[in-house]
Amino acid sequence: MSKKIIKAQVTGKHQNRTALGMMTAFVAMHPSVNTSTLKEMFTTKDVCPDAGISQLFYSKSEIEQEQANGNEWFINDNACFTKDGEWLTLGNGRKLAFNKVWTAKSLEKLQTALADYGITGEVGTVDKSAVAGFEICFESVEVQVTGKFQNRTALGMMAAYVALNPSLTAEELNEQFPMKEIWWCFKKYADIK
């Protein structure tokens, strides 16, 4: 048996801390997500057009490059959350800094985007011991899937998804479920009998 997080309620002491907490919850709920997928799913244009920077996620080397280019937002540490406890840590161990500027309008867009993933967030009172300025309450369920049936379970879930969404094209499916991620799942469990 293992636990699968199905919902997250975030409370942040400010709008930007709420956004950081919501994205932290998303990363925790989707440990296989990678940097490029995050950058495609959550663009500055669609989610936070008033960010003042070109993207919402930056690696340490990208931040150093922005500083070397003389970008004042990065030199003054105003662009992204970069202190201890503020970095997003992906399932592969990679750390990303997240955009720091969130207006009410942009936070509302992020709330709408993450509601589909069971993540809600609001500005409120947070315990002073919360290092990053937010608290997350996760809701999880016990899940038991044996290795023998994981390929069949994944295939069945995909078939159900297609049956429930008959208007999807092959291109849309490939965008939502990149084959390299699906192949990794099948390859990982292919030898289990």
Distance in angstroms (rounded) separating the CA atoms of residues 131 and 92: 23
Higher local confidence (pLDDT), 189 or 179: 179
Per-domain boundaries in the chain: 2-142, 147-189
Q: How far apart are the first and last CA of the chain?
A: 18
Report which of residues 163 and 113 the model is more confident about: 113
C-alpha to C-alpha distance for 92 and 40, rounded to whole angstroms = 18
Q: Which two tokens stand for residue 100?
A: 């720091």
Output the DSSP codes for 85-141: TTSEE-TTS-EEEEE----HHHHHHHHHHHHTTTEEEEE----TT-TTSEEEEEEEE
Distance separating alpha carbons of residues 111 and 91, to the nearest angstrom: 23
Q: Which of 182, 172, 175 is nearest to 41 (CA)?
A: 175
- To the nearest 10 degrees (0 to 180), the angle between helices 15-29 and 104-115 is 20
**140: number of Cβ within 10 Å:** 13
**Torsion-angle region of 186 (φ positive above 0: left; ψ -120 to 50: alpha; else: beta):** alpha
Quickly count: other Cβ atoms within 10 Å of residue 46's Cβ.
Answer: 12
Residue 89 CB partners (closer than 8 Å, separation 6+)? 27, 95
pTM of the full predicted structure? Answer: 0.73
Number of residues assigned to the chain: 193
pLDDT tens digits along 106-162: 999 999 999 999 999 999 999 999 989 999 999 988 887 665 555 555 656 666 556
* Amino acid at residue number 155: L
Q: Which pLDDT score is estimated for 3?
A: 84
Which helix (H) or strand (E) segment holds residue 3: the answer is strand 2-12
Report pLDDT digits (tens) over 58-110: 999 999 999 999 998 888 888 999 999 999 999 999 999 999 999 999 999 99
